[in-house]
A = this chain, B = another copy of it.
């Protein structure tokens, strides 16, 4: 069988969570191979294996050494590729598994957050030429010193995108337990529609708004190298959503493509900050020094007492650390106190051309008002409008906006 074209398929942890699912994934790879494609499959660690290995390490020491942790968790993907290749061979298809180092994936940088430097594709090409399905371990590469190091969370997507780039396939198929990108979370909005296409910019805004389809880093690399990403279900044969360059979408007018509801953040407010120059900078510098991610920074107009409030959102996991940091800053600034509100949700509309079309933001505010949903904070860019609302109203806000923007019926 000659190889007409190479395709890169990536199966995430849930798609290879048990031997049965691995066999289904192998069957999909074999079916592409039988169509004549050269098939490179990036496989993640099965199911919760990575987390289980980390838990094992933490029973040894609460703070395992990064280099040794990488040596440990790299085994997860190695288990995945070996089982995947076995499943292919058991079905009569030639196949071979390659770890990141065996596949010629060179990485640089620190353990646990390395970058792919280049892929010496010779070994992969040799096996493809011999008609083999090549199962490559995601998430790992060979460091200059011979160590196996990992690329950080979401690293298997990055491996897939990098392989697509180095093998010049132009596209990368990402199989997971989501069927594609939706106009809103279909578990909440029942008439949410799967988008056939979306741009990288919109996806990046979505990722920053709490929708966990793909990690931002992989999408940035894909965009840079001109790789289209097809996000699709590992368990259904239907097409998913194609993530493409903005230029490939029809962009005559402003539109909202998708909504995201993010319940994973909390709001922090420094109350009664004296209104003087440099205050915002001092607060943000302190947060940055403590590695606390912030989003939606809002400073209220000064009150008649000459003080104002500063609010922002941060992930739940950073709430306690952020509060402590802010209390230190508040003391220095002679602010009144620091408030933490965990009962908030952020709702975002993602799309394009918002700057030139204030109607998009206006539609959001009107729809929320009509449903008596109080808006705590607002933030807007050309690609996104976000509002912070009460946590309990988040889902009804999502449904109201989905209807207001006409997403269920629209076409793209």
Contact = CB atoms under 8 A, between A and B. Distances in A.
Query: How many copies are assembled?
Result: 2
Interface in A47-82: 53, 56-57, 59-61, 63-65, 67-69, 71-72, 74-75, 78-79, 81-82
Contact of A75 (B56, B60, B68, B79): B79
Contacts of A90: 60-61, 63-64
Contacts of A328: none
B71 A56 contact: no
A302 B286 CA distance: 98
A311 interface: no
B85 A65 contact: yes
A79 to B, nearest CB: 6
A322 to B, nearest CB: 29
A83 B60 contact: yes
A60 B84 CA distance: 9
A314 interface: no
A129 to B, nearest CB: 15
Contact of A57 (B18, B57, B65, B86): B86
A99 B123 CA distance: 21
Contacts of A64: 86, 90
A241 interface: no
Most chain B CB within 10 A, of A53, A60, A61, is at A60
A23 interface: yes
Interface in A21-57: 22-23, 53, 56-57
A146 interface: yes
Contacts of A227: none
Contact of A102 (B56, B61, B79, B146): B146
Interface of A: 18-19, 22-23, 53, 56-57, 59-61, 63-65, 67-69, 71-72, 74-75, 78-79, 81-83, 85-87, 89-90, 96-97, 99, 102, 123, 146-148
18 contacts: A18-B59, A57-B83, A57-B86, A60-B83, A60-B86, A60-B87, A60-B90, A61-B86, A61-B89, A64-B90, A65-B85, A65-B86, A65-B89, A68-B85, A68-B89, A71-B82, A71-B85, A72-B82
